[in-house]
Structure formats: structure tokens, C-alpha cells
Amino acid sequence: MTYSEILEVLEKKLGSYQKMGEKAYKPGLDRIQSFCNSIGNPELKFPTIHVGGTNGKGTVSHLIASALIQNGYQVGIHSSPHYFDYRERTKINNEWIDEVFIQSFFLKHQNQIEYFQLSFFEFSIALAFQYFYEKKVDVAIIEVGLGGRLDASNIIQPLLSIITHIDWDHMHILGNSLQEIAAEKSGIIKQGGICLIGRNQEQTKEVFIDQAKKENASLFYADDVVELLQINKQFPLLQLTLQIEGKTIELESDLGADYQIENIKTAWAALHLLQDKIQLNLDKCRSAFTELYKKTRYIGRCQIVQKQPLLIVDSAHNLEGCTEIIELTKGLTYKKLRIILGFASDKKVDEIFSLLPKNAIYYLTKANIDRAMSLAVLESHARRENLNYSSFEIVLDAVEKAKAEADPSDLILVFGSIFLLSDLQTIILASDNLEA
């Protein structure tokens, strides 16, 4: 079988959540644990860092990875979903896994994959474990796929578990209260381990404290480890002055948006806690926080892909994420705001639409996936909020129309779904050629 044929089998037979949604979700650790046992438990043969939470997992993971790479380590990252290419999910020092390894792994273990009835995500995480083991990484950063307690990534024994924060997402699977969602995500706190929480939230605090006590684990909050002294915003740059154990640290990051400040603090707190486990030069860590997009091939969070007019893409897809990207517009200067918007069909968007600025021009669209929210549904929400909109079946057409109508001083935003960005591969990858 060729690589492309294998990928088709994985998506259709194993069931990709990215393509199918909840129908593809298979909670529980029995299948992945049994499969990994059958191939020699590669997940236990290298150090790991486990990153969960509602939003911010990707940013925190890539900031930590960049810092470790700058310190000379071979660093694996497993993240999901992917934007353009399945190989994005599994990287070592920012180089994607090669097709030949995927092909070889699938063909070698095809019978076990079928016998244990692995899901698409379970196959992907097991593939990453084996790849990181065979390539002898010094450490791997593993993002939780969905939730935590029953997520296939949760068979590792990490040096550090990180939970960015808790917000409303995937309620149909994780629970209908922040406490219930937190309980699922707190499942990555391990016996005798260390856990860092990115945001101190009153509603979820007791959940994490109780779980840490149950597991006899050490619990830290980023605010208690790192103090933010000063912020200087010069979009797309953030200049932060932090204090940790009485030492002042100056950081600069190209992440741009205010919501990234919390992720930067969380990542720096994580590096501080990791110093007892991994030898780190903090000056090298600091330099790693600049030009994160270029250094780690990071995609899709407040990413500038064109300067005139200013075109920003963001994979925000839930209430908090969309609120954050809307807040970003309030700190920018522009003539007219143009928003390309689309969602997956399983998202609750009533509150998001109610927050959208009324004076913007909207280009409603749908990603090229079966689970995209229909234009009819999007239009009904837009009419209810009395928005100025037009509709496009193809995401690229919506973006090109917005660019054609825009003045050079306009601001164009694309957000609502990672899948919108997937359909803009040529535009986003070309942004690597932008000057810093």
C-alpha cells in the first residue's frame, strides 16, 4: 500500500475525529494500552511533558519545545488536529515525520491495529510514541487530544503535566459544568507527579487540589511561579517583564495577541519547574520565545499572512477563543474590519454571534469537510444579529473577495474553525516569506 492509500484507510476505516466529529470519538485507555504493550511500550522509553486544557495547548507546547531545542535537545512534539498535512502531528525539532516511517509502521502492525480496533487518534499517538523512541528524542511534548482522563495520550508518565485552563468546549463529551470539564482534564495529573495549572480559576480550583491530593502530586499555578511586572505591546510583538524567585526576566515574543500573555507565562513557569529535571540555559530559553512561527513551524494562532491589507488567521473555534480574537481588534488601527467566518456544525455559536462587532463586513463560508456548519445556518445567525454579510461555498473565494474589496488599511480576520485555515494552505504557507 502507498502512503496515500494508508492515509485514506486511516481516515475512513479508523475514523478521523477531524473529519467525522463525535462519531469518531472512542474514549478509554484499554485499546491504546493493549496495542502499545504489544509493540513494547515505546511511550515509557523517553521523557515526556503532557499538555492539556481547553485553549492554549499548542502555544504552550511550541514555546516549551522551542526553548528546549535552543538548549540543544532533540525534541518531539505530538499535536492535533493537523492543518494541511497529517505529518504535522508528529515532529522532531520541527521536522515532520516522514511518509516512509508511517507506511512502514502501519504495514508492520496492521493486524494489531485491526485486532485492537484502534481509532484514528489512537493510531496517531502510538505512531508518534514509536517514532520518538526509535529516533531517540531527549524529550517529547505530548498534547492531549480531547479531555484528559480517557484520552489516548494519557498512558505516559510525564516529567510534568500542564493544564492551560478550563473553558466551555466539547460539553457533549466532557460535561456541562466547568467542574465536570476540569475533572476530565485533571485526569492527566499522575501519581507522585508535578502539575502546572495555567490559570487560577475559582470554579475549578478545588477539582485540581482534590485530584493532586488523591495522586500525591505537587500542584503549581503559573501565577504563583511567575509574576508579570510589565507589558509593552507593539503589535505583533509583546515585550514582557517577568519576575521569578526575585530574578527579573525580559521576554519578547511575536505571538502578538493579549491572550498569549497567559500562555507565555505558563510556558516560562513550566521551564522553571523543569530545571530540576532537564539542564536549561535560561538565556537560550528567552531567545526561543522570539519568532516562534519561524522557529517551530507553528501555525494558526493570530498569524499574520499579509500586511496590506492586514490579514490575520486564527484557529479560534469556541466562545473564549473567538472572544479573544474579537478583543484583539480593539487594540489595532484599521479603516474597515472584514471577517471571514465559519464553524464546525457541532459548535454552539449563539453567544459567539452575539459578540460579533456590528460594524464589520462578514464573509460567511464553510470548510471543505462534511461536518462544516451549513451556510443556511450561518446566515440565520447573521440575520438575527443584523450583520452585513455575503456567503461563499469555498473558503478561498471568501478570502479573495474580502481582499479584493479591502482598502490597504483594512483589517481582515479569518476565524471560527481550524478547518477554514486548512483550506487556505497556499496563503498561510506563503506567509513564511513575510519580513519580521
Give the model confidence (pLDDT) of 218-273 as tens digits. Answer: 999 999 999 999 999 888 888 999 999 889 999 998 887 888 899 999 999 999 99
The least confident of 103-107, 334-338, 383-387, 432-436 is 432-436
| Residue bearing the bigger pLDDT, 31 or 431 | 31
| Residue bearing the bigger pLDDT, 425 or 102 | 102
Q: Assess whether pLDDT exceeds 80 at residue 23.
A: no
CATH number of 303-433: 3.90.190.20
Q: Where in the chain is the domain with CATH 3.90.190.20?
A: 303-433
For 29-119, where are the alpha helices, taking DSSP H only? 30-38, 57-70, 99-115
What are 117-146's pLDDT values in tens digits? 999 999 999 999 999 999 999 999 999 988
What confidence category does residue 52 fall into, taking pLDDT thresholds of 50, 70 and 90? very high
- Whole-number pLDDT of residue 20: 53
Mean pLDDT for the chain overall: 90
The least confident of 163-172, 232-241, 341-350, 414-423 is 163-172
- Whole-number pLDDT of residue 171: 58
Q: Where are the beta strands (DSSP E) in 214-302?
A: 218-221, 227-234, 237-244, 247-253
- Whole-number pLDDT of residue 430: 73
DSSP-derived 3-state class of residue 160? strand
- Whole-number pLDDT of residue 436: 36
Q: Is 364 exposed, middle or buried (0-12, 13-18, 19+ CB in 10 A)?
A: buried
- Whole-number pLDDT of residue 369: 87
What confidence category does residue 16 fall into, taking pLDDT thresholds of 50, 70 and 90? low
Q: Is 340 exposed, middle or buried (0-12, 13-18, 19+ CB in 10 A)?
A: buried
- Whole-number pLDDT of residue 291: 75
- Whole-number pLDDT of residue 435: 42
- Whole-number pLDDT of residue 347: 84
What confidence category does residue 24 fall into, taking pLDDT thresholds of 50, 70 and 90? low
Q: Assess whether pLDDT exceeds 60 at residue 38.
A: yes
Please choose, from the candidates 106, 52, 47, 118, the residue with its C-alpha nearest in 3D space to the C-alpha of residue 80: 52
> Using an 8 Å Cβ cutoff, are 155 and 33 in contact?
yes
- Whole-number pLDDT of residue 131: 98
pTM assigned to the model: 0.90
Q: Where in the chain is the domain with CATH 3.40.1190.10?
A: 3-296
C-alpha to C-alpha distances, 232 to 158, 235, 240, 241, 286, nearest whole angstrom:
34, 9, 6, 9, 16
- As a whole number of angstroms, the distance between CA 101 and CA 395 comes to 33
> Using an 8 Å Cβ cutoff, are 163 and 183 in contact?
no
- Which grid cell sits at 149? 482522563
Residue carrying C-alpha cell 513550566: 270
What are 282-320's pLDDT values in tens digits? 889 988 888 787 777 788 888 889 999 999 999 888 888
> Using an 8 Å Cβ cutoff, are 381 and 306 in contact?
no
- Whole-number pLDDT of residue 433: 44
Q: Assess whether pLDDT exceeds 70 at residue 406.
A: yes
Omega cis (within 30) before 158:
no
- Whole-number pLDDT of residue 46: 98
- As a whole number of angstroms, the distance between CA 363 and CA 382 comes to 10
Topology classification of domain 3-296: UDP-N-acetylmuramoyl-L-alanine:D-glutamate ligase (3.40.1190)
- As a whole number of angstroms, the distance between CA 47 and CA 59 comes to 20
